[in-house]
Amino acid sequence: MVAEKEDVEDESLRIDCPVLVTERLVLRPPHQDDIPELAELANNRRVAEMLGRMPHPYGEREARSFVGSVGEGKRSGCTYAVTLAENGAFIGCAGLDARAHGLELGYWIGEPYWGRGYATEAAHALVDLAFRATAIERLNVSCRVINAASRRVIHKCGFQYVGQGMLESIAAGRVPVERYVLDRRTWVSLRSWGQ
């Protein structure tokens, strides 16, 4: 998943950001205790190059700045620490951001936790939140064209491909991305998420 630079203040996109609990995860606001794990997991070029706003290298200073900006409300939308329900371990971040083109889903999971379905589980929870907590008609997401794992998450959530674009990534420079949209009607038909 990628996130772009511009944030937009649009009251219709404002969301109260409740703690979200899924079968295996708890999505909650990031806090100071997350800083060591955040710095360790985010300091990975393979993660940073897939995102727009994550620098590399990524250390404790960047982690403190990120947690501080979320705590002070300097970021639009909802920003979550993704943690394991069984033991509270921090495994990544996810959120919904207001952008010029509407609300956008974003996520990243630390490499030791890849391949276990955590990104899909977090994405499902955030898609549900977006459509339940707002009156949006469509939710946006994008990913690097080389990010097959993120594309699988996007497809599992029911998003439809709408085109390509370019992203200015702090870690990777100017890179091509694929853009996807999920409309409310499709979400309503899929919201059981395969149950």
Phi, psi of 100 (to 5 degrees): -60, -35
Q: Is 59 left (phi over 0), alpha (psi -120 to 50) or beta?
A: beta
Q: pLDDT for 7-65, tens place per residue?
A: 445 555 678 899 999 999 999 999 999 999 999 999 999 999 999 999 999 999 999 99
- pLDDT of the residue at 15: 83
- Compute the mean pLDDT over every residue in the chain, rounded to the nearest whole number: 92
User: 79: closest CA among 129, 29, 134, 131?
Assistant: 29
Phi, psi of 149 (to 5 degrees): -65, -45
Residue 132: count other Cβ atoms within 10 Å of its Cβ: 10
Q: What are the residues facing 97 on neighbouring strands? A: 104
User: 82: closest CA among 61, 65, 107?
Assistant: 107
Contacts of 109 (CB under 8 A, 6+ apart): 82, 91, 92, 118, 119, 122
Q: Is the pLDDT of residue 68 over 90?
A: yes
- pLDDT of the residue at 63: 98
Secondary structure in 3-state letters for 83-119: EECCCCCEEEEEEEEEECCEEEEEEEECHHHCCCCHH
- pLDDT of the residue at 10: 54
Q: pLDDT for 164-189, tens place per residue?
A: 999 999 999 999 999 999 999 999 99
Residue 165: count other Cβ atoms within 10 Å of its Cβ: 12
- What is the token pair recorded at 52? 């727009």
CA distances from 139 to 58, 103, 104, 127, 170 (A): 29, 6, 6, 8, 24
